[in-house]
Structure 1
Amino acid sequence: MNKFAIGLLAYGAALGLAALPAAASAQNVEKIGTAGGRILSGAKVKASAETLYLSGNLASPATQGGSDYGDTKAQTVSTLNKIKGLLEAQGYKMADIVRMDAFLVAAPGMDGKMDFAGFNAGFAEFFGTSENPTTVTRTTMQVTALAAPQFLVELTVIAAK
């Protein structure tokens, strides 16, 4: 990171807000949130931005052709890897995501509750990292069921650049 970028981040942190635009989308997208926060409080997308909407995505089996999809964290990582591939196929990066809706079901052994900590642990592998220092606006909700009983996580995203 160059001195200018470090100074800009320090200035944003001093204000209590940090603009976290991805380099490719800096002119069309402004990401707004608390410095170091897990999710953004908002994102401004200019009318001139190109936008990509991805449908809900589910985890892939842990092993090819298998029926084990893993726990909430494993399914979150699997689903985000799938989303990463779909974005890259369209010329986007994870840093271009501005909105995510996360649907989680009650996890086994969680007394009827979703595994929010497991979801956040998987999410943290893709956002707020050295590879992708940005994050997204996000809603996480518990739902009764997804497409099949083995699925614990479904994610939809909107990307803009």
Structure 2
Amino acid sequence: MQLSKSLLLAGLMSAGLLAPCLKAHAEDGIIRHPADHFPISTAVEVPAGASTIYLSGMGAPVQDKTAPAKSLEAYGDTQTQTLASLQRIEGELKKLNLTMGDVVQMHIYMVADPRTKQLDFPGMMKAYTQYFGTAKQPNLPVRSAFAVAQLANPGWLIEIEVTAVRPVKK
């Protein structure tokens, strides 16, 4: 059984079908299964012994201090808020000696823009893809995006929470 499994893996590797997963596995023990044609993973496998870090949901900090407090104008549109939220997350991870590449799961809570009455999913994706699936940072988390009625801060259109993993030291 072990020999046939090894031969199967070798065949898949030579065909280039497992290269992204095995490369990630070889580096830090985390196996990411990327989705076809979309910048998320469909599954992430975390090895025993790795530390799991749960970050609280984060929205954008105020972008325009001259705008009314807790207003949409103070925080910006969905793309602006997503980018600012991801920057905050990156800062919190850095304090823990982690990077965005260590994020394995993400939940994005979104509110419809009151001006358009619609979610700005494309705006969120423009900011998201600046951090995930790039040549500099190719690791993709599993991710869910939710439409919600409102967030705690009435000026927020987005709040993001992530789970990161500190790989096992070798």
TM-score class, shorter: 0.7 to 0.9
- Aligned-pair RMSD on alpha carbons? 2.6
Residue 147 to residue 131, structure 1, CA distance change in 2 (3 Å):
same
Q: Which runs of 5+ in 1 are unaligned?
A: 1-10
Measured in 2, the distance between the counterparts of 1:158 and 1:21 equals 17
Residue 30 to residue 107, structure 1, CA distance change in 2 (3 Å):
same
Measured in 1, the distance between the counterparts of 2:158 and 2:65 equals 19
% of aligned pairs identical? 31
Residue 101 to residue 52, structure 1, CA distance change in 2 (3 Å):
same
Counterpart in the other structure of 1:139: 144
> Secondary structure in 1 aligned to 2:75?
coil
Residue 136 to residue 49, structure 1, CA distance change in 2 (3 Å):
same
Counterpart in the other structure of 1:100: 106
Measured in 1, the distance between the counterparts of 2:75 and 2:94 equals 23
Measured in 2, the distance between the counterparts of 1:30 and 1:16 equals 10
Residue 120 of structure 2 aligns to which amino acid in structure 1? D
Deviation at 1:31, TM superposition (A): 1.1
> Secondary structure in 2 aligned to 1:76?
helix
Deviation at 1:14, TM superposition (A): 3.8
Give the number of equivalent residue pairs.
149
Aligned residue among 110, 120, 125 for 2:125: 120
> Secondary structure in 2 aligned to 1:127?
coil
> Secondary structure in 2 aligned to 1:75?
helix
Residue 84 of structure 2 aligns to which amino acid in structure 1? S
Work out which of the two has the higher radius of gyration on C-alpha atoms and give 1 or 2.
2
Deviation at 1:32, TM superposition (A): 1.1
Residue 156 to residue 22, structure 1, CA distance change in 2 (3 Å):
farther
Counterpart in the other structure of 1:151: 156
Can you list the C-alpha shifts for 1:42-98, whole angstroms capped at 9, x where unaligned? 000122101110011110111457541110000000000000000010011100000
Deviation at 1:34, TM superposition (A): 3.6
Task: Give the structure with the higher percent helix.
Answer: 2
Superposition map of 1:10-159 within 5 A: 14-15=16-17, 18-19=20-21, 21=24, 26-27=28-29, 29-34=30-35, 37-63=38-64, 67=69, 68-110=74-116, 112-159=117-164
Runs of 4+ in 1 over 4 A off after TM superposition: 64-67
Counterpart in the other structure of 2:3: none
User: What TM-score, normalized by structure 1, do the two folds share?
Assistant: 0.82
Q: Is the 8 A contact 1:18 1:35 kept in 2?
A: no
User: What TM-score, normalized by structure 2, do the two folds share?
Assistant: 0.78
Measured in 2, the distance between the counterparts of 1:113 and 1:37 equals 22
Deviation at 1:99, TM superposition (A): 0.0
> Secondary structure in 2 aligned to 1:18?
helix
Residue 134 to residue 47, structure 1, CA distance change in 2 (3 Å):
same
Deviation at 1:17, TM superposition (A): 7.5
